[in-house]
C-alpha cells in the first residue's frame, strides 16, 4: 500500500506542507502550559498525545472531520468494542453509565479531558480481575452437552448482558464451545490413531471432556497472564485509535512499541516462515504473505488469518492469543529446516486449521520482478510477476521495480516472445514513482495518474520518457487484493486501452496515501517518545478523472475467485473515504488492438462455459455462506452432526483448484546463470513454474493473449 515519508511530501508539494507546519508555532505555545511529570501512567503524556494528534489531524488529514456528536458517538462505540469485542466484560448497566459521555467526548478531546477514557478503562480493569473467577468456576465442573442450546459468535450483533448472571452465562457458552471443539479434535486424532494401530484404545467421552476443560483452563490462564502484562500505554493506544479511526480506516496511532513491531519485516534474509504479522486487539493477524517464502510455497496461510497457537513440530501447541507480537514472533521464527505448526482461524470461513510450515531462509530477492516463458500453440509468451512496486529511497542507484522491469522486458524481447502477461495479483502497492515509470514502458509519454492534497488543485504526474519498451500485446492480471500502486498502473493501462485487465470483478479500491509522522516532531519540547501517526494526506485519481478509492479498477474480463462474494475491499471498511471524480487529464488513448471487443467477448464466453470456473464460483458462494453462518449448537450430538455436514459439503470442492494446463513454463535464458550460481533459488523457480501450469487464471490470460492483434496504426507500434 502506498506510504510516503514527510521528506517526499515536501518534495511533491511544499505549499501544502507549509500550511500544515507554519501554524505549529502558535500551537507549541499552547502546549507549553502542560506540566510534564514522570508518573506511572503519565496522564500529562496522554493529554499531550490527544492535543498533538488532534492538531495533526485537523491541519493535515486529507478530509478533516468536525469533532461533533457523531464523531463522539464513533469514539464511544469503537473504544468499547475495542476493549470488549466478545461482550465478555461489560453489562448493560455499565454501558448505560458510560452513555452519559456518549455525546460529550468531542468536547472532552478539545479540552484534554479524559474522563470518559478513565471511567471505561478503570471499569475494564476491574472486570478483567473478575473474569478469572468466572472462567475458573465454570471450567471446574463438566458441561451438560445434552442440553439443546446454541451460541452465535457474531458478537457485533449480540447485545450486552443484562446483568452479572447473564454475563456469566455468556462466558459459559463461549467456554463450552471451546471445550466442544477440543473434544471433537481429540476424537478425530484418536480415530486416526485407531486406524493405524488396531490395539489402540479410544478414551471415553468423560475422559476427553475433562481433558478438554483442562486445556481450555490452561489457555485462559495463559491469556490473562499476558493481558495483565499489557501496560497503560497499550490500552490508551486503543483509545487513541478509536479517535483517529474516526477520520478514516487507514489513519492509525502507533505507540513506540507498536511502531517497532510494525517495522518488523519478515521478508528480509532471515530464517522463518515468510509472513508479515501485526497485532489487532489481543490477536496476531497475518498482514501479508511474503512472495516466495515458506508460507507462500506451502499455500495454506493467507493474509487476514488469525494465528491462535504455535507448536514446534509435534510438541504441545502454545496459545499465543493475548501474547505480545514480538513474543509471538519469537515462537513463530526458527532455524531453517525446522517445522512450526500454526493453529489458525481462517479469514474466509472462520474455520480452525492446523498448518504445518517448514522454516527456511526468507530472501528479499523473492519480492523482485521475475519472469517465465511458455510455448502455446507454436507461439512464445512470457509472464512477469511483480509482487510489489519496490524502491530504495535511501539509495536511488540501487535496483528498483522500474529498472528491473525494463531489464526483464529487454531480456524477453531477445527471446522473441510475442506477448506479455503482467501479474499484479496480491500486489498491495508500494512506490508511486516506479508505478509511473513502469506504465511508461508500455506507452509513449503522457499522464499516468493524478494526485490531490486537500484544498489543492489536482497534480498530473506524467511519464516523460517517449521510449516504449514493449509495444506488443499485454494482459494485466489483478485480483481483489491488488491495491494502491497496482491499481494506478492497471487504471492507466485501461484508460489508454493499452492492456486487457483480467481478474476479480474489481481491485481492492485503495485510492489514498498515508504518511507516517513522528509525533515528537510537532512537540519537540517533550523528550519521551510519543510514537507515530499514520495519516491519510492525499488521494489518487485516474487520468480519466475517476478515483480508484472504493471502486478500484473493474476488470475488462472478470473471473470467479474465492473472494468473489467476500467483503475484502476498501468499500467494505467503515469510514472509508468516498469515491469522487475530478476533471480528466489531457491524454490520448492508444487504441492498441484491432479486435479488443471480440477477444473480451470470446473470453467471457469461455469462462461461462468452463466447468472449473463454475466450480470456483460455487466454492466462493459456499465460503460466503459459511462466513455468514455464525451459529453453533452446544448440544454434542447436534454439534457433531453439523460438523459432519460441513465436512461433507466441503468435499465436493476438494478439486476446486486442481487444474492443469499441461503447459511447460521455464526460466528465461538470462536467468539461467543466476540459477547456476545460486543467486536465484532453483527449487523456488521450479515450484513457481509448476504452479503457473496449474493456474487457471494464467491459462485464460494466455488464451486472451494469443488472440490479441495489434492495430498497425496504433501510436505505440514503432521501432
Q: What CATH number does residue 397 fall under? A: 3.90.226.10
Q: What pLDDT sits at residue 11?
A: 32
Q: What pLDDT sits at residue 581?
A: 96
Share of the chain above pLDDT 70, in %: 90
Same domain for 459 and 341: no
The one-character DSSP state at 572 is G
Q: What pLDDT sits at residue 363?
A: 57
Q: How would residue 3 be classed by pLDDT, with cut points 50, 70 and 90?
A: very low
Interhelix angle 14-21/43-60, rounded to 10 degrees, is 140
Q: How would residue 134 be classed by pLDDT, with cut points 50, 70 and 90?
A: confident
CA 307 vs CA 325, 335, 391: distances in Å: 11, 20, 30
Same domain for 427 and 567: yes
Question: What's the number of domains the chain is made of?
Answer: 3
Q: What pLDDT sits at residue 227?
A: 82
**Is the pLDDT score of 632 beyond 90?**
yes
Q: What pLDDT sits at residue 8?
A: 39
Same domain for 344 and 378: no
Q: How would residue 267 be classed by pLDDT, with cut points 50, 70 and 90?
A: very low
Q: What pLDDT sits at residue 210?
A: 95
Q: What pLDDT sits at residue 568?
A: 92
Reported as type and span, the H/E element at residue 237 is: helix 232-244
Strand partners, 384: 371, 422
Q: What pLDDT sits at residue 17?
A: 40
Q: Which residues of 571-589 are buried (b: 16+ CB within 10 A; e: fewer)?
A: eebeebbebeebeebebeb
**Catalytic amino acids?**
484, 495, 510
Same domain for 609 and 563: yes
For residues 225 and 31, give the distance between their C-alpha atoms in angstroms, rounded to a whole number: 38
Q: What pLDDT sits at residue 292?
A: 66
Q: Which of 713, 593, 594, 610 is nearest to 656 (CA)?
A: 610
Residue 112 within a domain: yes
Q: How would residue 33 be classed by pLDDT, with cut points 50, 70 and 90?
A: very low
Task: Kindly state the average pLDDT of the residues 331-358.
Answer: 91
Q: Which of 719, 708, 668 is nearest to 416 (CA)?
A: 668
Q: Which of 100, 94, 104 is nearest to 125 (CA)?
A: 94
Q: What pLDDT sits at residue 255?
A: 84
Q: What pLDDT sits at residue 364?
A: 54
Task: Kindly state the average pLDDT of the residues 133-156.
Answer: 93
Same domain for 145 and 212: yes
CATH code, domain carrying 319 = 2.30.42.10
Residue 28 within a domain: no
Q: Which of 102-116, 321-335, 342-356, 656-670 has the lowest mean pLDDT?
A: 321-335
Residues 6+ apart with CB under 8 A from 508: 428, 480, 481, 482, 483, 484, 487, 552, 568, 569, 570
Tens-digit pLDDT profile for residues 492-537: 999 999 999 999 999 999 999 888 899 999 999 888 899 999 999 9
* More confident: 507 or 260: 507
**Is the pLDDT score of 379 beyond 80?**
yes
Residue 401 within a domain: yes
Q: What pLDDT sits at residue 129?
A: 87
Q: What pLDDT sits at residue 628?
A: 87
Reported as type and span, the H/E element at residue 379 is: strand 379-385
For residues 182 and 674, give the distance between their C-alpha atoms in angstroms, rounded to a whole number: 49
Q: What pLDDT sits at residue 395?
A: 67
Q: How would residue 323 be classed by pLDDT, with cut points 50, 70 and 90?
A: confident
**Is the pLDDT score of 648 beyond 80?**
yes
Q: How would residue 31 be classed by pLDDT, with cut points 50, 70 and 90?
A: very low
Share of the chain above pLDDT 90, in %: 67
Same domain for 220 and 341: no
Q: What pLDDT sits at residue 704?
A: 98
Residue 328 within a domain: yes
Tens-digit pLDDT profile for residues 67-121: 999 999 999 999 999 999 999 999 999 999 999 999 999 999 999 999 999 999 9
Q: Which of 23-32, 251-260, 273-282 has the lowest mean pLDDT?
A: 23-32
- DSSP for 522-540, please give it: G-TT--S---EEEEEEEEE
321, 340, 362 - which closes a domain = 362
Residues 6+ apart with CB under 8 A from 150: 631, 632, 633, 634
Same domain for 227 and 307: no
Tens-digit pLDDT profile for residues 165-206: 999 999 999 999 999 999 998 998 888 888 888 888 999 999
For residues 648 and 468, give the distance between their C-alpha atoms in angstroms, rounded to a whole number: 54
338, 362, 386 - which closes a domain = 362
Residue ranges making up the domain that contains 660: 367-526+537-707
Same domain for 582 and 662: yes
Same domain for 641 and 498: yes
Question: For the chain, what's the residue count?
Answer: 719
Query: How high does pLDDT run on average in the chain?
Result: 88
Angle at 85 between CA 332 and CA 63, to 5 degrees: 95
Strand ranges (E), 5-66 = none
Q: What pLDDT sits at residue 221?
A: 87
Same domain for 376 and 301: no
Same domain for 466 and 516: yes
246, 280, 303 - which closes a domain = 246
Q: How would residue 38 be classed by pLDDT, with cut points 50, 70 and 90?
A: very low
Same domain for 439 and 328: no
Residue 714 within a domain: no
Residue 6 within a domain: no
Cell numbers at 249, concatenated: 480506516
Residue 563 within a domain: yes
Cell numbers at 586, concatenated: 489531457
Q: Which residues of 387-413 are buried (b: 16+ CB within 10 A; e: fewer)?
A: bbbbbeeeeeeeebbbbbbbebbebbe
Residue 353 within a domain: yes
Q: What pLDDT sits at residue 291?
A: 64
Q: What pLDDT sits at residue 505?
A: 96
Reported as type and span, the H/E element at residue 312 is: strand 306-312
Amino acid at each position: 500500500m502506498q506510504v510516503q515519508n514527510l521528506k517526499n511530501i515536501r518534495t511533491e508539494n511544499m505549499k501544502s506542507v507549509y500550511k500544515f507546519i507554519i501554524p505549529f508555532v502558535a500551537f507549541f505555545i499552547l502546549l507549553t502550559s502542560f506540566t510534564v511529570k514522570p508518573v506511572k501512567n503519565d496522564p500529562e503524556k496522554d493529554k499531550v498525545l490527544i492535543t498533538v494528534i488532534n492538531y495533526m489531524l485537523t491541519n493535515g488529514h486529507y478530509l478533516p472531520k468536525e469533532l461533533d456528536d457523531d464523531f463522539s458517538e464513533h469514539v464511544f462505540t469503537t473504544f468499547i468494542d475495542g476493549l470488549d469485542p466478545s461482550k465478555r466484560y461489560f453489562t448493560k448497566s455499565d454501558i448505560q453509565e458510560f452513555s452519559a459521555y456518549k455525546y460529550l467526548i468531542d468536547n472532552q478531546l478539545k479540552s484534554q479531558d479524559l474522563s470518559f477514557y478513565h471511567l471505561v478503562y478503570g471499569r475494564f480493569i476491574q472486570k478483567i480481575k473478575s473474569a478469572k473467577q468466572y472462567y475458573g468456576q465454570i471450567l471446574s465442573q463438566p458441561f451438560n452437552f445434552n442440553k439443546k442450546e446454541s451460541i452465535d459468535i457474531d458478537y457485533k450483533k449480540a447485545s450486552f448482558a443484562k446483568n452479572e448472571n447473564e454475563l456469566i452465562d455468556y462466558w459459559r457458552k463461549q467456554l463450552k464451545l471451546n471445550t466442544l471443539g477440543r473434544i471433537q479434535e481429540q476424537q478425530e486424532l484418536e480415530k486416526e490413531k485407531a486406524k493405524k494401530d488396531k490395539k489402540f484404545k479410544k478414551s471415553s467421552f468423560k475422559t476427553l471432556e475433562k481433558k478438554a476443560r483442562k486445556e481450555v483452563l490452561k489457555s485462559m490462564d495463559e491469556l490473562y497472564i499476558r493481558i495483565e502484562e499489557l501496560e497503560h500505554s497499550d490500552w490508551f493506544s486503543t483509545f487513541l485509535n478509536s479517535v483517529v479511526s474516526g477520520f478514516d480506516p487507514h489513519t492509525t496511532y502507533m505507540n513506540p512499541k507498536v511502531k517497532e513491531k510494525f517495522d518488523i519485516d519478515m521478508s528480509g534474509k532471515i530464517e522463518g516462515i515468510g509472513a508479515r504479522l501485526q497485532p489487532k486487539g489481543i490477536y496476531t493477524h497475518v498482514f501479508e504473505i511474503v512472495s516466495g517464502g515458506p508460507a507462500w510455497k506451502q499455500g495454506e496461510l493467507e493474509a487476514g488469518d488469525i494465528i491462535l497457537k504455535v507448536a514446534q513440530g509435534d510438541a504441545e501447541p502454545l496459545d499465543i492469543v493475548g501474547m505480545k507480537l514480538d513474543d509471538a514472533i519469537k515462537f513463530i521464527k526458527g532455524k531453517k529446516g525446522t517445522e512450526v505448526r500454526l493453529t489458525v482461524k481462517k479469514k474466509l470461513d472462520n474455520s480452525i486449521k492446523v498448518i504445518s510450515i517448514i522454516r527456511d531462509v526468507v530472501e528479499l530477492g523473492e519480492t523482485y520482478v521475475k519472469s517465465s516463458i511458455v510455448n502455446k500453440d507454436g507461439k512464445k509468451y512470457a509472464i512477469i510477476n511483480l509482487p510489489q512496486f519496490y524502491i530504495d529511497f535511501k539509495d536511488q542507484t540501487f535496483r528498483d521495480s522500474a529498472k528491473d522491469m525494463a531489464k526483464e522486458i529487454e531480456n524477453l524481447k531477445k527471446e522473441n516472445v510475442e506477448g506479455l502477461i503482467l501479474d499484479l495479483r496480491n500486489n498491495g502497492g508500494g512506490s508511486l514513482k516506479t508505478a509511473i515509470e513502469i506504465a511508461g514502458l508500455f506507452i509513449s509519454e503522457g499522464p499516468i495518474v493524478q494526485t490531490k492534497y486537500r484544498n489543492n488543485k489536482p497534480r498530473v504526474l506524467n511519464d516523460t520518457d517517449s521510449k516504449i519498451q514493449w509495444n506488443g500485446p499485454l494482459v494485466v492480471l489483478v485480483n481483489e487484493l491488488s491495491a494502491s500502486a497496482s491499481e494506478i498502473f492497471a487504471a492507466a493501462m485501461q484508460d489508454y486501452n493499452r492492456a486487457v485487465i483480467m481478474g476479480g470483478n474489481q481491485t481492492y479500491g485503495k485510492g489514498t496515501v498515508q504518511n507516517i509522522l513522528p509525533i515528537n516532531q510537532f512537540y519537540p519540547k517533550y523528550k519521551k517518545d510519543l510514537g507515530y501517526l499514520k495519516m491519510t494526506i492525499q488521494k489518487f485519481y485516474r487520468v480519466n478523472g475517476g478515483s480508484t478509492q472504493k471502486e478500484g479498477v473493474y476488470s475488462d474480463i472478470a473471473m470467479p475467485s474465492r473472494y468473489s462474494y467476500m467483503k475484502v475491499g476498501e468499500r467494505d471498511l467503515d469510514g472509508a473515504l468516498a469515491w469522487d471524480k475530478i476533471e480528466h487529464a489531457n491524454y490520448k488513448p492508444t487504441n492498441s488492438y484491432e479486435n479488443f471487443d471480440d477477444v473480451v467477448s470470446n473470453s467471457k464466453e469461455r469462462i461461462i462455459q468452463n466447468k472449473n470456473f463454475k466450480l470456483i464460483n460455487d466454492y466462493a458462494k459456499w465460503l460466503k455462506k459459511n462466513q455468514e453462518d455464525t451459529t453453533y449448537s452446544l448440544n454434542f450430538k447436534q454439534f457433531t452432526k453439523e460438523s459432519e455436514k460441513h465436512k461433507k459439503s466441503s468435499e465436493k470442492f476438494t478439486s476446486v483448484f486442481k487444474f492443469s494446463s499441461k503447459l511447460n513454463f521455464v526460466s528465461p535464458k538470462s536467468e539461467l546463470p543466476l540459477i547456476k550460481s545460486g543467486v536465484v533459488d532453483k527449487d523456488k523457480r521450479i515450484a513457481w513454474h509448476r504452479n503457473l501450469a496449474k493456474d487457471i487464471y494464467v491459462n485464460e490470460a494466455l488464451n486472451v493473449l494469443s488472440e490479441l492483434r495489434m492495430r498497425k496504426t496504433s501510436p505505440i507500434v514503432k521501432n
